[in-house]
Structure formats: structure tokens, C-alpha cells
Amino acid sequence: MDEQIIDPALDTAGVEPPPHQTQPRIVTRKDLPLSCPLPGDEVWNMHPRVYLPIDEEPSGELTCPYCGARYRLQKD
């Protein structure tokens, strides 16, 4: 008599995560201050906003500590 009810919104069967980007996202000085996630990122992939001081890095590259997204500041 006990019928299990499954919420279809919680069914993740067949759902694949997006491919992991291996190449860094290129950002320009007009994108500063740089924050991750970027404004156009998917809502499901959001984490607390973190500001990345990419302009202070000698290499011009930083990785987000939350999601691992890589960013590279375009040289002028």
C-alpha cells in the first residue's frame, strides 16, 4: 500500500554535466574587477561570487577556488 512518490524535478537520470573547459577564458581590462561566476554563466552552476585579482598576478592567469574555472587576462 505504500506508494513511493518521486519528484520528477529531482530525477537526474540521463543528465550529463557540461564538458569541463580545459582552455582558460580570456578576459580584458574592461571585465575588471573580475568575479566568478561570470554574469552570463548558467544558474545551476552558481557558487558564491568571488573576486579574482587577476590584474595582480604576474602570469595574468587565475583559477577560481570554487569551480576551477580558469581565466587569462588578455595582454594589451
Report field, pTM of the whole predicted structure over 0.85: no
Distance CA 65, CA 56 (A): 16
Domain ranges of the chain: 21-41+48-76
Sign of CA dihedral 41, 45, 50, 55: negative
Distance CA 74, CA 27 (A): 6
20-68 pLDDT, tens digit each:
667 899 999 999 999 999 877 777 668 889 999 999 999 999 999 988 8
Residue 24 CB burial class (10 angstroms; 0-12, 13-18, ≥19) = middle
